[in-house]
Amino acid sequence: MENSTDLRQAADIDLNQFTTVPDTHRGVLVSPDQLEPGDAEVMAGVGVHVENEDRSGTYILQDFNPLCVPVQTKGLELLPIAVALKKYDWLRKKYCFKAVNADLDKYTLQCASAADPQGYFVHVKKGVKVPFPVQACLYIAQSGIAQTIHNIVILEEDSELQLITGCASRTGVGSAAHLGISEHFIGPKARFTNTMIHSWNPDVEVRSRSGTIVDAGGTFISNYISLRPSKSIQTNPRTWLNGEGASLKYLTIILGFGGSTIDTGGDVYLNGKNSSAELAHRAVCTGGRIYQRGLLTGNTPGCRAHIDCAGMVLDAGEDGFIEAVPGLKALHPDARMSHEASIGRIAPEQVAYLQSRGMSEREAISLLIRGFLDLDIEGLSPELDARIAEIADLAGHGEGI
Amino acid sequence: MTNLLEIKALCVNVDGQDILHDLDLTIPNGEVHTLLGPNGSGKTTLMMTIIGYPEYRVTNGQILFDGKDITTLDITERARLGIGISQQRPPTISGVKLKQVLDFIIANARQPVPDINELARAYKIEPFLDRDINAGLSGGEIKSSELFQLLIARPRFVMMDEPDSGVDLEAINIVGQMMNEIFARHHTIRTKERRTGLIITHTGNILDYIHADKAHLILDGYIGYTGNPHILLDQIREHGYGECARCELWRCR
Ligand SMILES: Nc1ncnc2c1ncn2[C@@H]1O[C@H](COP(=O)(O)OP(=O)(O)OP(=O)(O)O)[C@@H](O)[C@H]1O
Ligand SMILES: [Mg+2]
């Protein structure tokens, strides 16, 4: 039996309180033009730009209504999962619940038992390098619902795909739940970059489970950014580096928030000879509870793994903290594995130094936070810039620029 | 000539300890002064107090800059008034590149900024532009990085704390050139464009590379002599700082 991180943080959600059936009285989204301006803005904040031409495909799920903008790239297919399951028999047989068990927990069971599953199906054919990112937005526009999502991404041999998934809720939405299963299959020498940005209202609860299987020479790059955490987020992406030389790079950025509980992990099984994994967790705590975990299991000769958890506590309030638990398990004598963890504050002498060059306290702290987060994905999300500025305000004495 | 910096009866307490006592210092516009004193005499303390580091608590006295009382302003406000520093031991800042700070300085510059890549080449700063601030830099390289930021920022008033410590004999020429550039001390430059500043040194060696108009001697947190740099330096070199406290130059408190 494979060991995995035990997700014990964040309370159990009573799913009976949420509706999972579409409200047929609501209009169905047929074009991105129909989005309300406020919604389009929130989506842009999580990296989904509906009018952007530099995208190879767009999928939007608003509550229960999927919308797929037809794809122009040859060898790329993007469909709502329900449509794909009807169209392709092999999808259910070969891929469905092969990377995430349907009965993993009550949330996956809920997703698996949905009569009409929601989510996206992305398929990239052999040798196809998708020129621009495919974007998907999983959007909650009304209170009281639970989205049950099932995404499947398949990259055939030697293909390349960048996927941006933005998950967010409409301003003002109250209690709601986002339950999701994501399964990724990365073929030999294929390269998959998955950037996921979350920005939720304070009463939304998130339980997402993902599984990624990487073949020989395949690469999985995953960036997860939680900008505005909900009441609770619990994720534990699992990756199987099964092929020889398969590699994984994982960056998780959590910007904490008072009153929230965030538990993120990352279990990696290094089964392929010379496979490698590099996990970096970064968290900035301005209140709330943040758990950074990860368990790397080295099963083969020549595998290399490193996990690094770093936390910055700015103003944790009464109940805020960061708990970093990087884990390693070497099952082969030749596995080379290491971990590090550090939690600290912003050093006042660094802020003062930057101020002596003319920066305001807020500008200095923003720059230090950016540096700490190691952000080279700048410009991806204006919301990220806004959030960092907000956090810098909280951390400093609130003086403007 | 008006005074750019005027310090009156300054007392400073650090971490519960009184470090500077009743200190007076005046630097007129366009003059470069030097502050000489032994280890632990309060030189760094004075500079950090003038730029406004909060842990240096002013318990008495005033700091006037361009006639304005800046004693209660924060570091940013003082920096924006035109005070710049080069620190003796600046912090290492991982995650923030020298280039990012220079970009900020350029974006906020009031005067046109010359091509920084060219300057970086000329002053051998290029390799550090994309490195985290002071991370893994040698003692001499740190000084160059500090001075280079001032060279780009061109503050009206510049303080340099031990700009030559840890700098080897070859690199000291470059440091000297940068200092002359920062203070606009080249012969071709008109007097009225000259910058004002304070060079802090305990050895005085750097004064072979830059002309100082006046020297101040600080002992135990108190400035007791102000005069010709060469005369003072000769005295110090001959008798040491220990004798200075007793010599005829030292004014009674
Ligand atoms: N944070 C502090 N807490 C306690 N004492 C301090 C602190 N900072 C400075 N001091 C003391 O104040 C005195 C003056 O220190 P300062 O660094 O200003 O000396 P300096 O003249 O710059 O010496 P050096 O030539 O060695 O650089 C010293 O005795 C020093 O120990
Ligand atoms: Mg000193």
Tens-digit pLDDT profile for residues A18-29: 888 766 555 567
Q: Map tokens 């920066």 to a residue.
A: A359
Which structural domain range is residue A401 located in?
347-401
Q: List, for residues B209-237, the tens digit of each pLDDT value.
A: 999 999 999 999 999 899 999 999 998 98
Are the beta carbons of A300 and A270 closer than 8 angstroms?
yes
A358: nearest CB among B54, B87, B108: B108
Interface test with A, best of B15, B47, B75 (most A CBs within 10 A): B75
The answer to whether residue B112 is domain-embedded is yes
Counting ligands in written order, the one closest to the CA of B203 is 1
Report the complex ipTM.
0.95
Q: What tokens were used for A304?
A: 């290399």
Chain A partners within 8 Å of B85 (Cβ): 356
The b-or-e profile of A292-312 (16+ CB within 10 A means b, else e) is: bbbbbbbbbebbbbbbbbbbb
Min Cα distance A370 → chain B (Å) is 7
The answer to whether residue B142 is domain-embedded is yes
Residue A400's pLDDT is 37
Which chain A residue has its CA at the smallest distance from B102's CA? A357
d(CA B144, CA B92): 14
Atom 3 of ligand 1 has which residue's CA nearest to it?
Answer: B15
E-assigned strand segments in A7-112: 57-62, 65-69, 76-80
pLDDT over 70, % of chain B: 93
The answer to whether residue B179 is domain-embedded is yes
Are the beta carbons of A275 and A303 closer than 8 angstroms?
yes
Q: Is B193 left (phi over 0), alpha (psi -120 to 50) or beta?
A: alpha
Q: List, for residues B11-21, the tens digit of each pLDDT value.
A: 999 999 999 99
Residue A9's pLDDT is 67
Where residue A401 falls among pLDDT bands split at 50, 70, 90? very low
Q: List, for residues A197-218, the tens digit of each pLDDT value.
A: 999 999 999 999 999 999 999 9
Kindly give the number of the ligand 1 atom that is closest to the alpha carbon of B45.
18
Q: Which residues contact A379 (CB under 8 A, 6 or more apart)?
A: none
Which chain B residue has its CA at the smallest distance from A371's CA? B95
Q: List, for residues B173-216, the tens digit of each pLDDT value.
A: 999 999 999 998 876 666 667 899 999 999 999 999 999 999 99
Cβ–Cβ below 8 Å for B95 and A347: no
Counting ligands in written order, the one closest to the CA of B12 is 1
- The torsion angles phi and psi of B61, rounded to 5 degrees, stand at 95, -175
The answer to whether residue A366 is domain-embedded is yes
Are the beta carbons of A346 and A373 closer than 8 angstroms?
no
Give A375's DSSP letter: -
Residue B249's pLDDT is 60
CATH of the domain at B32: 3.40.50.300
Q: Exposure of B182 by Cβ count < 10 A (0-12 exposed, 13-18 middle, 19+ buried)?
A: buried
The answer to whether residue A391 is domain-embedded is yes
Q: Radius of gyration over alpha carbons of chain B, in Å?
A: 18
E-assigned strand segments in chain B: 3-14, 17-28, 32-36, 56-65, 68-69, 83-86, 93-97, 132-133, 157-161, 196-201, 214-219, 222-227
Residue B248's pLDDT is 59
Cβ–Cβ below 8 Å for A353 and B84: no
Q: List, for residues A280-307, the tens digit of each pLDDT value.
A: 999 998 888 999 888 999 999 999 999 9
Interface test with A, best of B93, B99, B110, B156 (most A CBs within 10 A): B93
d(CA A389, CA B215): 45
Q: What tokens were used for A23?
A: 């409200």
Counting ligands in written order, the one closest to the CA of B13 is 1
d(CA A51, CA A270): 40
The answer to whether residue B151 is domain-embedded is yes
Counting ligands in written order, the one closest to the CA of B40 is 1
d(CA A372, CA A312): 8
Chain B partners within 8 Å of A312 (Cβ): none
Min Cα distance A354 → chain B (Å) is 8
Whether residue B16 has its Cβ less than 6 Å from ligand 1: no
Which amino acid is residue A184, in one-letter code?
H
Are the beta carbons of A190 and A162 closer than 8 angstroms?
no
How much is the pTM?
Answer: 0.84
The answer to whether residue A382 is domain-embedded is yes
Residue B80's pLDDT is 96
The answer to whether residue B7 is domain-embedded is no
Count contacts between A and B (CB, < 8 Å): 62
Average per-residue pLDDT for chain B: 91
Q: Is B181 left (phi over 0), alpha (psi -120 to 50) or beta?
A: alpha
Which amino acid is residue A276, in one-letter code?
S
The answer to whether residue B184 is domain-embedded is yes
Chain A partners within 8 Å of B100 (Cβ): 367
Whether residue B14 has its Cβ less than 6 Å from ligand 1: yes
The answer to whether residue A342 is domain-embedded is no
The answer to whether residue B80 is domain-embedded is yes
Q: Which residues contact A161 (CB under 8 A, 6 or more apart)?
A: A76, A122, A124, A130, A134, A153, A155, A190, A191, A192, A193
H or E element in which residue A121 lies: strand A120-124
Q: Map tokens 């639970």 to a residue.
A: A146
- The stretches of A176-251 forming alpha helices (DSSP H) are none
d(CA A119, CA A295): 28
Residue B192's pLDDT is 66
- The stretches of A32-105 forming alpha helices (DSSP H) are 37-45, 81-87, 89-90
Residues facing residue B189 across a β-bridge: none
- Total domains, chain A: 1
Average per-residue pLDDT for chain A: 88
The answer to whether residue B101 is domain-embedded is yes
Interface test with A, best of B15, B76, B111 (most A CBs within 10 A): B76
Chain A partners within 8 Å of B80 (Cβ): 358
Residue A206, helix vs strand vs coil: strand
Are the beta carbons of A98 and A126 closer than 8 angstroms?
no
Give A94's DSSP letter: I
Quickly count helices (H) and strands (E) in chain A: 7, 21
Q: Map tokens 């990296």 to a residue.
A: A47
Q: Which of A181-185, A266-270, B165-169, B245-249 tops mean pLDDT?
A: A181-185
pLDDT over 90, % of chain B: 78
Quick one: average pLDDT of B151-171? 93
For residue A222, pLDDT beyond 70: yes
Q: Radius of gyration over alpha carbons of chain A, in Å?
A: 21
Whether residue B118 has its Cβ less than 6 Å from ligand 1: no
Backbone CA torsion sign across B244, B248, B249, B252? positive
Which chain B residue has its CA at the smallest distance from A363's CA? B104
- Total domains, chain B: 1
Q: Which strands, in side-by-side order, build the sheet including B222-227? A: B83-86, B157-161, B196-201, B32-36, B214-219, B222-227
Q: How far is the CA of B14 from the centre of ligand 1 (A)?
A: 9
Cβ–Cβ below 8 Å for B93 and A350: yes
Length, in residues, of chain B: 253
Mutate to test the pocket of ligand 1, among B18, B21, B34, B43 (most ligand atoms within 8 A of CB): B43
Q: How far is the CA of B39 from the centre of ligand 1 (A)?
A: 8
d(CA A360, CA A190): 45
Q: Which residues contact A237 (CB under 8 A, 6 or more apart)?
A: A209, A210, A211, A212, A222, A224, A250, A265, A266, A267
